[in-house]
Structure 1
Amino acid sequence: MKYIKEFEKKMNLGSDNQLANGHVEQASIPKENEGSVQTYVQLLKPERFYMFLEILIYCIVGHFIGYLIAPILKNYFYNNLEWY
């Protein structure tokens, strides 16, 4: 227990909305800082946003590649397969 308290002091944890591993349980803004932009920026999770952008880019690139490859594959299979 002593080590956990020391770890919380080192990591600046121990507030109501943070767990021991650093993850925020719920987003809460102090009343005195409620309107400032900085607190809202702190609440945003950039990792989630970057992951969303990455998946979106993969989807767009995948569609373009599919549109380029599909006619080639279609012509190859239509011309080289014998249907019985």
Structure 2
Amino acid sequence: MDLPSGYKPDTEIDNEAMDPVWVQLAAILVARIDAAIYPPGRAIPSLNQLRQEFGVSKGTIVKATNHLAEQGRVRAVHGRGVFVLPRD
């Protein structure tokens, strides 16, 4: 699944939007990666930090980050975090 465009790094989750919350979160994270807010080799914020910032469930965050991992944008390292991968 391709993520929708138009999301910016500072976009907030909209529970009334047509896009599912996990898709919105994934698109926001990609916007932050593309803007080098989360540069390659660095971890994105922790699950708890993302839960606090966006007010979403753990499952929503896991689904969003798993989707980004499937796209080759991030890699989860057990016990360490989710790290941004370099773009080819």
Structure with the higher helix share, 1 or 2: 1
The normalised TM-score by structure 1 is: 0.28
Which of structures 1 and 2 has the larger relative contact order (alpha carbons within 8 angstroms, sep 6+)? Answer: 2
The normalised TM-score by structure 2 is: 0.27
Structure with the higher strand share, 1 or 2: 2
Between Structure 1 and Structure 2, whose CA radius of gyration is higher?
1
